[in-house]
Structure 1
Amino acid sequence: MGRIIVLISTTPDGFADSRNVIIEPDFFEFTHSLLSHSDAVVFGRKTFEQFQDRWIERLQDETSPDWIKKMAQSLHDIQKIVFSSTLKTTRWNNSTIATELDIAYIKSFKKEHKGGLLTFGSLSIIESLIQMNVVDDYYFNIQPIIPGKGEARFFNSLNLDKPCSLKYVAYRELSSGAHIIHYQNADSIQNI
């Protein structure tokens, strides 16, 4: 059975802007390990367009460090699903455009796949998955900075009927001082 996995990079004060994420080999190695256990990555339109532009270019850039190229190749190879009602075309390899992320899609994915459905960076997608109570694994990448302001505040529009209890699994410290904390949904998605 497939698992729904979210990787959330955030600061202690809740800002999830990509400009607050420290770019380092440790983080890409960790993200690559999540990708290697996933069957697909899911994006919202805005994050997908940013990633598409950035990672196609990095794959083709011969001056990119090996750890960047490895990540770019993994993103190139994996199935990518972008949920958007406005996006009509994509130029990124193995990309599919879908119009609606709903519980039927999640049930189908979990039943038909053994690997994960991973998302990172797409806050609206993450909030939708949490709202549906379908996330199996949460990875919080806590950055060692308090910016005090930013464009994207995590969980800004999340409104749950009841709290989602999490079970601590493990943590990993990165060389930058960032910490990735792994939790699982304590209720786990047996409700689906």
Structure 2
Amino acid sequence: MTFYQVIKGTVWQLLNPMYRFDIEGLEHFPKEGGVLICANHISALDPPVVGITSPRPVHFMAKEELFHMPVLKWAIPKLNAFPVKRGMSDRDALRKAISLLKSGEVMGLFPEGTRSIDGKLGKGFSGAGFFAMKGDAHVIPCAIIGPYKPFKRLKVRYGKPIDLTELKERKANAEEVTAVIMEHIQTLLDK
């Protein structure tokens, strides 16, 4: 059993009794090939929640500062996270993400870039569209429906892979692709 699997099981045992997860749509999740999970962002707990509810191991970008903190600098890479420099275009992080997707891995992304203050879905950054177009991966929308309140049910809803064929054929820009992804997340939130 890997460190990732041990931590995933431990975090599940800690969080599930408190938030009583209701997970929908796992039948839509591809069993193989690259997958880009695009989820809304309402809490600092969203990355672990996506990580423990996904049927496959998930990679995340994490702010570079975390990789310099004691204990975390050892653990975070073993939890499939890789550093990204914030506030600038980090070409190494972009290449790493595209490489992961093309090699058949799963990457989690929060297109809003930061947590929503009011719980409503915000505008997505173009990075989601960029990875969707360049990563040759399935794009799975995900809605985390809270609130995160102890002993209240927390819903995690995965949608069907988004068909990007038409957008790829006409070489749509990253902003347009991100807008389509955000529409799919909103549809899952409204369902």
Question: If the length of structure 2 is used for normalisation, what is the TM-score?
Answer: 0.39
Say which structure is richer in helix: 2
Say which structure is richer in strand: 1
